[in-house]
Amino acid sequence: MAQTSETVSTLCHGCSYSGYNCGLLARVKDGVLERVEGNPHNPLNRGKVCAKGLAAPQWVYNPQRILYPIKRTGPKGTEAFERISWDEAMEILTERISEVRQSHGPEYLLLQKGQSSGWFSLHHLLMLRFLYALGSPNFSSWSPYVCYGPQLFYHKLTIGGPTYTRPDYDRADLILEWFTGGGQGGPSRGGVETLNTNLRSVPKKILDRLDRGAKLVVINPQLIPLAANGRASRWMPIRPGTDAALALSMIHVIIDRELYDRDFVSRWCEGFEELSAHVKKYTPAWAEVITGVPARDIADLAEEYAQTPRAVIRVSEAPQKRDLQAFGTAIPILIAITGHLDRPGANVWFRPSGRLGFDVLADRVSGDVREKVLGADRFYIRAHHRAFAHFQDVVEALANGRPYRPRAMLLYGSNPVSTARDPARIAQALRELDFLAQFDVTLNPTSRFADLVLPAATRYECGDQPCLWGNHLALSQKVISPLGESRDELEVTLDLACRLGMGADFWDGDREVMVRDFLSPSGVDLEELRASRSRGIFLSGDLEPQEYERYEKSFGRLPGGRVQLFNKKLAAGGFAGLPTFLGEPEDPSNAPGLEREYPLHFTDEHSDVFSHHSWMRDLPWLRSKRPFPTVKIHPLTAQDHGLGSGDWVEVMSPHGMMIVQVELFEGLRRDVVMGQHGWWQGCPGLGLPEMPSHEGGVNPNALYPWEPADPVTGNISKNTRVRLRKCGPPKWADSVDS
């Protein structure tokens, strides 16, 4: 048989960030995806691909993939399933969704969208439209609740603008990389990227500038790879969770020493007097006690930032703080008052040249039902016109039945038992559902509570998906046929919509017609885009914005058309109008005496180069580089506890406990224990078993406090205090093939 080889141009699913991904060339031989390489024509990644992207063949041909629909046959909490046909699966879905709407009401149906089954604009819009067409307001997803959404909210509330401000790396002379978690940041959404991926060629941009003499400051409890190899002129090892104190103190120094941009402040800001008075108490000496960073260094950094015209700040997308209001407003304030807003080499707004999309039919949710969205009374949800459900409120509603107990949930590519806090509470809440349908690539801990699990095709097996970044249109294309009976989640949703009698609103189930509709606002048609192959199409305008100081337009929706140094909207809502330091719930100031029993600070790396949230750890090419869940501990701290490299250790907080291995790391504050988010997966290819998520498992989400939350957004803390105890290997370790 002759060997047929072809190369298919498509987009990556290695990290699955919204809207657009790195361009790939998929090498296919006899219908088998052999490997991928970067597409040199794609302006975002210019031919480069990161480790996660390169692992595509193992993602696609993962032996753990579910390849046919399964239905629950045993009690929840187990993986007792039997195979069923798609026909039966769709009948069950249709019946259960209809029943919930009729017997209870549309709001009793929840839809949650994660990333492992696809996460692009098209997916997001279709899921919203589907749910809204059913009349339910209860769409939940990480981005709005814990990740990027809350931070973007504060950013815009302070400095307006169409998007988050993005560092204009290409022209920066000073780069502040400020990661409030422990790792290299989290997922991005059209704004700030992470070095755990190659999205938007951020690594190259930063490195090019450093080669030209730009300076890099890294603010992180640990010495992350970005700061290695002599790159960072300054590493600020901040105590985790205390970032608001650092930011406020920097504002104090800048105002106190009159280093702010007077013209900008007088012309474009309001509330300067109130802010000045307010930050007087946030001295570097005050901040030193809280952050562990010497006062001198704080003052030096503030001066350096204020006095370098071309300076950028990037903070991690998902700060996950109870004290998010202080941090989330302090950062845009810092950017604004120092004259670093929408100027070359500073933090700039990003305006794409075009648009893709279709109406999500939000008006199908009646006014009174919209009021019933879970979390409705939270300021953040109200400010978004109740556009989505707040996940913590979803959990509380399921657990307590208040304001009502949802009945059914559709989970697309999401694994809340592993990724949300806290695992036991989530698992218990999910048990309360009458019906849970999960759509994913492999089973995961959440599957134990699912009534139905449907096999998702990976992006490489799905049809055309147009994506737009800046002014570049690219097409994700099908590389191989779906494995087994796996299906594109878009097709399944269209099919389901038709079965539910909504075909007229869903293109009569025709995926291609939907795609054309989605693409049409760009002015480019699908044939043109297909014909452009690996080059894609550049719309008019520049990929990167060349206009600056777009203040009038960007501040247009702010009270008085000015930057809110004192935030009128928040004040009107009954909240502090000025960024006020609260700290995290288990900081010494909030929990005095806790250090006696729990002397060390704990947080986790939200992501890394070998995994994404709670998936991809079952791929041998990736897992082999970091095979076991660990905590990083400073060697002297470890020694104090009688711990050596590779020892098993119990990490116990006031809320929960996990058992992982010790990794010694000199580049870490001595008072910090650094975990890793998202562990549960085994990797049968390497003889590594699945690991438990709950108490005594490997998931740091069991350790954090559930409350209090940020009163505005409901954001909760990713910080706690722990103690360590050497222990023996956990039971699951017995199943490790040595």
Q: Which residues bind another protein (CB under 8 A)?
A: 35-38, 45, 47-51, 54-55, 57, 195-196, 198, 201, 203-204, 207, 210-211, 223, 225-231, 237, 609-610, 620-625, 634, 665-670, 685-686
CB of 554 to another protein, least distance (A): 31
Specify the residue, 35 or 41, whose C-beta has the smaller distance to another protein: 35
- Closest approach of another protein to the CB of residue 653, in Å: 23
Per DSSP, the chain holds a count of helices (H) and strands (E) of: 26, 27
Shortest reach from residue 432's CB to another protein, in Å: 41
Q: Strand 347-349 relative to strand 165-167: parallel, antiparallel, unpaired? A: antiparallel
Instruction: Say if residues 469 and 351 touch (Cβ distance below 8 Å).
Output: no
In the complex with another protein, which residue's Cβ is closer, 210 or 279?
210
Decide whether 61 or 575 has the Cβ nearer to another protein. 61
* Residue 375, Ramachandran bin (φ over 0: left; ψ between -120 and 50: alpha; else beta): left
Closest approach of another protein to the CB of residue 3, in Å? 15
Phi then psi for 152, rounded to 5 degrees? -60, -40
Q: What is the spatial distance between Cα 543 and Cα 205, in angstroms, rounded to a whole number?
A: 14
Closer to another protein by Cβ: residue 401 or 687: 687
CB of 686 to another protein, least distance (A): 7
Query: How far is the C-alpha of 168 from the C-alpha of 311, rounded, in Å?
Result: 9
Give me the least distance between CB of 484 and another protein, in Å please. 23
Q: How far is the CB of 12 from another protein (least distance, A)?
A: 12
721: helix, coil or strand? strand
Nearest approach in angstroms of CB 52 to another protein is: 8
Beta carbon of residue 585, minimum distance to another protein (angstroms, whole number): 27
Running DSSP on this structure, what letter comes out for residue 683?
B
Question: Is 401 or 646 the residue whose CB approaches another protein more closely?
Answer: 646
Least Å distance between CB 203 and another protein? 4
| In the complex, minimum distance from the CB of residue 9 to another protein, in angstroms, rounded to a whole number | 16
**Least gap, CB of 162 to another protein (angstroms):** 28
Q: Confirm if 409 and 111 have CB atoms less than 8 A apart.
A: yes
Q: Where are the alpha helices (DSSP H) in 581-696?
A: 594-597, 620-623, 635-640
Q: Of 528 and 666, which has the nearer Cβ to another protein?
A: 666
Q: Cβ 395 to another protein, closest distance in Å?
A: 35
What do you get for the CA distance between the two ends of the chain, in Å?
Answer: 40
Under 8 Å between Cβ of 487 and 86: yes
Residue 181 contacts by C-beta under 8 Å, 6 or more apart in sequence?
240, 316, 318, 319, 320, 603, 604, 605, 606, 718
Between the alpha carbon of residue 417 and those of residues 54, 446, 729, the distances in Å are 28, 5, 23
In whole angstroms, how close is the CB of 615 to another protein at the nearest point? 16
Q: How far apart are CA 605 and CA 674, in angstroms?
A: 7
Minimum distance, C-beta of residue 620 to another protein, in the bound complex (Å): 4
Q: Nearest approach, Cβ of 165 to another protein (angstroms)? A: 23
Q: Are strands 648-652 and 720-727 parallel, antiparallel or unpaired?
A: antiparallel
DSSP code, position 570: H
Closer residue to another protein (CB): 491 or 671? 671
198 versus 291: smaller Cβ distance to another protein: 198
> Which residue, 372 or 623, is less far from another protein as judged by CB?
623
- Nearest CB to another protein, comparing residues 227 and 673: 227
Nearer to another protein, 177 or 270 (CB): 177
Nearer to another protein by Cβ, of 524 and 609: the residue is 609
In terms of DSSP bridges, do strands 657-664 and 408-412 run parallel, antiparallel, or are they unpaired?
unpaired
To another protein, the closest distance from the beta carbon of 619 in angstroms equals 9
Q: Which is nearer to another protein, 36 or 515 (CB)?
A: 36
Closer residue to another protein in complex, CB, 208/363: 208
- Distance (Å, whole) CA 650 – CA 638: 12
725-728: Cβ within 8 A, 24+ apart: 725/641, 725/649, 725/650, 725/652, 726/641, 726/642, 726/643, 726/647, 726/648, 726/649, 726/650, 727/648, 727/649, 727/650, 727/659, 728/648
Sort 388 into a burial class: Cβ within 10 Å, 0-12 / 13-18 / 19+.
buried
**C-alpha span between 499 and 130 (Å, rounded):** 12
C-beta of 200 vs 421, nearer to another protein: 200
SS3 label, residue 441: coil
- 31 or 560: CB nearest another protein: 31
Helix (H) or strand (E) holding 600: strand 600-605
User: What distance in Å separates the CA atoms of residue 324 and residue 326, rounded to the nearest whole number?
Assistant: 5
Q: How far apart are CA 434 and CA 18, in angstroms?
A: 31
DSSP for 314-338, written as a single string: EE-S----TTHHHHHHHHHHHHHHT
Query: In this complex, which beta carbon is closest to another protein, that of residue 161 or of residue 203?
Result: 203
Nearest-approach distance from CB 15 to another protein, in angstroms: 12
Which residue number, 530 or 625, has a Cβ lying nearer to another protein? Answer: 625
CB atoms within 10 A of CB 695: 16
- Give me the amino acid identity at 356: L
Q: What are the distances in angstroms from CA 157 to CA 163, 184, 326? A: 11, 26, 13
Q: How far apart are CA 519 and CA 528, in angstroms?
A: 11
Alpha carbons 578 and 566: distance in angstroms, whole number:
5
169 in Cβ contact with 544 (< 8 Å)? no
**DSSP-derived pairing of the beta strands 408-412 and 435-440:** parallel
Q: Residue 402: what are its φ and ψ, rounded to 5°?
A: -115, 135
